[in-house]
Amino acid sequence: MATPNQSPAPNLAGLTWADLNWLPDRMTLNGFTYRLAHTKSEDWDGGDHFQFYKIKLLVDQYVHFFTKLGDFSSRNIFELGTYDGGSTAFWYEMLRPEKLVAIDIKDGEDSEYFRNWVKLGKKGDFIRTYWRTDQSDKERLRKCFYDNFSAPLDLVIDDASHLYLPSKASFEALFPLCRPGAIYILEDWAWAHWVEGHYDPSWAFERRLTDLVIEFIEAVGTSNSLIDHLDVYQGFAAIVRGSGKIEEPFSLDKHILRHPTPSLLRKLRTRIAKILVPPCET
């Protein structure tokens, strides 16, 4: 396998963002239909389609981000959370990687529509899906990588659980497998701040994903050898891999330096004073 310090080959992108055709309840791309799950309409005419859990506002943010990157190489992509394959098809059509591996925790299988999409473009050598795969299973994720890639990752897209611990586990498993300059995307990081109607009440007792983004910022503040910088949008955060070597096993916490806060220092001084100068007996 190539080491994460090897330079990537140029990427020849497929379609352009202008090829996305947006309708009120669907998006079409290269002859395939992506039903917009957030805007289901009563007059949907049925038929084959992908379920697509990305709204136009989010995709517009991706357009801005990737356009700004220019000729970014995305030949090796790892996607967390494919649902029924719609997002996998979308990313492949837009970025045309040499290899795209996608996982999902669902007890499912590739849909007929997805299989037809793969067959039509003879994409079988470029696409690999894994079902019943938990994003927090670090060993499983790394095995998926080593079984499919001969070079480091250029892009990771986490659109899976949106929960703090599983998302952090995936980051710690896959970020060391990324090349310097690679991008790790954490989608829907801001769910704890969504307005009513979009917020999922079942997440009320879950740790917010915002905390993980804050940890990424703390790591940048400590050193840019791990994370060079972040681009934060409302719909996703893009973490750019630094040029430093990552020791295994990798723990994000070990790359964050936090000095004691003034309030903590005061508490420590008070406790030390009580130990060194015990109260006088009366």
pLDDT of amino acid 10: 31
What pLDDT band is residue 8 in, cutting at 50, 70 and 90?
A: very low
Task: Summarize pLDDT for 33-70 with one digit per residue, the tens.
Answer: 999 988 877 776 666 899 999 999 999 999 999 999 98
Mean pLDDT of the 165-179 span = 98
Model confidence, pTM: 0.87
Of 212 and 2, more confident: 212
Enumerate the β-bridge partners of residue 36. 52
pLDDT of amino acid 7: 32
Q: Report how far residue 208's alpha carbon sits from residue 122's, in angstroms, rounded to the nearest whole number.
A: 41
- Does residue 249 have a cis bond before it (omega within 30 degrees)? yes
> For residue 157, which of 139, 179, 135 has the smallest C-alpha distance?
135
Residues contacting 207, CB < 8 A, separation 6+:
163, 164, 165
Domain boundaries, the chain: 17-276
Of 77 and 3, more confident: 77
Q: In this structure, are residues 227 and 252 in contact, taking their beta carbons and an 8 Å threshold?
A: no
pLDDT of amino acid 205: 87
pLDDT of amino acid 196: 67
Instruction: State whether CATH 3.40.50.150 applies to domain 17-276.
Output: yes
Percentage of the residues of the chain whose pLDDT score is greater than 90? 73
pLDDT of amino acid 121: 84
pLDDT of amino acid 261: 73
Percentage of the residues of the chain whose pLDDT score is greater than 70? 89
The count of other CB atoms within 10 Å of the CB of residue 101 is: 25
pLDDT of amino acid 46: 63
Q: In this structure, are residues 103 and 133 in contact, taking their beta carbons and an 8 Å threshold?
A: yes
What pLDDT band is residue 277 in, cutting at 50, 70 and 90?
A: low
Evaluate if residue 282 carries a pLDDT over 70: no
Task: Summarize pLDDT for 113-122 with one digit per residue, the tens.
Answer: 999 999 998 9
What pLDDT band is residue 164 in, cutting at 50, 70 and 90?
A: very high
HSE-up (13 A, CA, CB side) for residue 70:
2
Task: Return the top range by mean pLDDT from 33-42, 212-221, 273-282.
Answer: 212-221
Of 13 and 154, more confident: 154
